[in-house]
Amino acid sequence: MANLLRAAIGGDEAAYAQFLRYAASHVRALARRKIVHGGVDPEDVVQETLLAIHTKRHTWMTDAPVLPWINAIARYKLIDAFRRRGRRMEVDIGDFAETLAQPEAEVAADRDIGRALDTLAPGQRAVVAAISVDGHSIGEAARKLGMNETAVRVALHRGLKAIARRFGRDT
């Protein structure tokens, strides 16, 4: 895995995708083990951890082992998710007292990364969706959206950063 991440930092997209898939299954197993009482969706923790791995990949020392680094990030994101859930449950009880009923479905959707995608500026959202959900390459997305490739890269980069930032805040 260290070799894959080193190649990724050197700009190898395929190696990076492979590395992220390994990291995802590793974090998924960890999250399922730690989340015993429910309330937090392990897959949300996986996605938040992947985003954090991505935006903070420069904090990995290229001669250090990868798994302790991934575990530390996953643990941090897991604690963050538990804390958010705790706060949201308090709010829910408050709302319940005020208005008798709050739709629960909204609470579940709140945790979804897809919701963060919805909050992006339209241009960034189109680019991120074209590359993630539709699976286009940078070049294909550029042609489809009538943008140049540099603009697509910039929009993707800023969009992902904005999504990652949202999870660091009390949203």
We find the least distance from the C-beta atom of residue 123 to another protein, in angstroms, to be 15
Q: Is 124 in the site for another protein (CB under 8 A)?
A: no
**Residue 58: DSSP 8-state:** G
Q: For 65, phi and psi rounded to 5 degrees?
A: -65, 150
Using the minimum distance from each CB to another protein, give the nearer residue, 35 or 73. Answer: 73
**Residue 64: DSSP 8-state:** S
Gap between the Cα atoms of 123 and 17, Å rounded: 24
**Residue 147: DSSP 8-state:** -
Closest CA to 29 of 1, 59, 70: 70
- Contact window for another protein (CB under 8 A) among 29-37, 84-92, 94-102, 150-158: 150-158
Q: Is 160 in the site for another protein (CB under 8 A)?
A: yes
Q: Is 6 in the site for another protein (CB under 8 A)?
A: no
We find the least distance from the C-beta atom of residue 3 to another protein, in angstroms, to be 15
SS3 content of the chain, % helix, strand, coil (to 5): 75, 0, 25
The answer to whether 28 and 43 are in contact (CB under 8 A) is yes
Q: Is 69 in the site for another protein (CB under 8 A)?
A: yes
Gap between the Cα atoms of 132 and 141, Å rounded: 10
Q: Is 29 in the site for another protein (CB under 8 A)?
A: no
Using the minimum distance from each CB to another protein, give the nearer residue, 76 or 96. Answer: 76
Could you say which residues in the range 77-106 bind another protein, by CB under 8 A? none
Question: What is the largest distance, in Å, between two alpha-carbon atoms of the chain?
Answer: 56
Q: Which residues form the interface with another protein (CB under 8 A)?
A: 8, 11-14, 16-17, 20-21, 24, 43, 46-47, 50-52, 54-61, 64, 68-69, 71-73, 75-76, 112-114, 117, 128, 131-133, 135, 137-138, 153, 156-157, 160, 164, 168-169
